Amino acid sequence: MITSFEQLFRELTATGRQRIVVAGGEDPEALKAVKESFEKGFGKAVLIGKEEKIKESLAALGYQDKSFIEEIVPVQEEEEKAFTAIEEVKKGGILLKGKINTANLMKAVLHKEKGLRTENFISNVLVFEDRRDKQSRLVLLSDGGVNIKPDLQAMVAIIKNAVWFAHKLGITVPKVALLAAVEAVNPNMEETLLASVITKMNQRGQITGCIIDGPLALDNAISKFAAQKKGIESPVAGNADILIVPNIACGNILGKSVMYYAGFPAGNLSVGGKVPVMIPSRADKSEGKLNSIALSILISR
C-alpha cells in the first residue's frame, strides 16, 4: 500500500518515464513540475502552446538543459491547444492543464468524437497525505471539482470512482465515510438521507469493494477519539480512507483547507475518461502538480 507521495515517486521511478502532455506549456509552475518528474525518473514533457512563449518561460526559469522535454508542439489558438493536446495524449501519455482556460480544455476532453469521453461517469478525486499521527497515510476526497450537487445515482458513481482509485493505491478494502454536518439521519438534511440509503446499498452488496458508513460528521470520520466520545461504533468511523462530500462547495472548501491550513501535500485529477485529466487551480504550485502527475501515472497503468 502506498502511504506517501515520496513512496509513490520511488515506485514510479522503477517503471520508466511517461509522457506528460501539457496543454498550455507556457505555464511556469507546470514546467517546474514536469522537469522535476523527469529528474525523479518517471516523466518527460510534451509541451503544447505558443513556442516563443514557452521558450520565454524556460529562459525565465533558467532552464538551459531542456532534456526533460520530448517535444514542443507549436500552437497559437486556445481551442487548437486543447484538441492538439488530446491527440497527443491518444498517442500515449497523461494530460496536464497548463496555461489554458479550463472551460476550453474540458470542452475538448468531453467532445463526443474527438475527446476522451467514455461511458463512465467523470468525477474529481483529491488525494492528500494525512500527517496528523506522525505516520503518513493517503486519504481520498471526492467530489470537490466536477459534480455540483450529485443525486443518488451520481453519488454512487462518485464513490465507485474513488474506490477504484483507492484500489490502485493498494488500499484493498477502503473505508468510505459519507460526510454531513451530523451523524444522525435528519429528514431536513438531504445529504443524511442519501448517506443512509447508500450505506444500506453497500450492506446489501449493491456497492462492492469497500465498506461504507454515513452520515458521519468529519470529526467522527477521521478521529477515533471523536467517534468514541460520541459512542459511534463503526469500522469506518475514525479511520476513513475515502471522504465523500455532499456537494462541490464542501469538497472544494475542505480540499483547500487540507492544503492551505494543514499544509498537507496533495494532488487531484478527474477520472472516468480514457485517461485521467489534471486540471489544477491557477493558484496551485508545482509541488501539487507534481503529486498529480505521479497519481495520474499510477492509475494509468
Instruction: Say which residues have a Cβ less than 8 Å from residue 87's Cβ, sequence separation at least 6.
Output: 114
- Spatial neighbors of 213 by CB under 8 A, at least 6 apart, are 175, 176, 177, 178, 199, 234, 235, 236, 237
Residues of CATH 3.40.718.10 domain(s) within the chain? 123-260
Q: What is the pLDDT of residue 242?
A: 98
Alpha carbons 133 and 69: distance in angstroms, whole number: 39
257 phi and psi, to 5 degrees?
-65, -40
DSSP sequence for 51-94: HHHHHHHHHHTT----TTEEEEEE--SHHHHHHHHHHHHHTS-E
Q: Please state, in angstroms and rounded to a whole number, the distance separating the CA atoms of residues 260 and 266.
A: 10
> What is the CA angle 120-173-238, rounded to 5?
110
Domain ranges in the chain with CATH number 3.40.50.10950? 5-118+273-300
So what's the architecture of 123-260 in CATH? 3-Layer(aba) Sandwich (3.40)
Query: Rounded to an integer, what distance in angstroms lies between the CA atom of residue 271 and that of residue 94?
Result: 12
pLDDT per residue as tens digits for the range 118-176: 889 999 999 999 999 888 999 999 999 999 999 999 999 999 999 999 999 999 999 99
CATH 3.40.50.10950 holds for 5-118+273-300: yes
| pLDDT at position 159 | 98
Measured between alpha carbons, how far is residue 228 from residues 135, 183, 237 in Å? 21, 13, 9
175-187: average pLDDT: 96
- C-alpha cell recorded at residue 52: 516563443
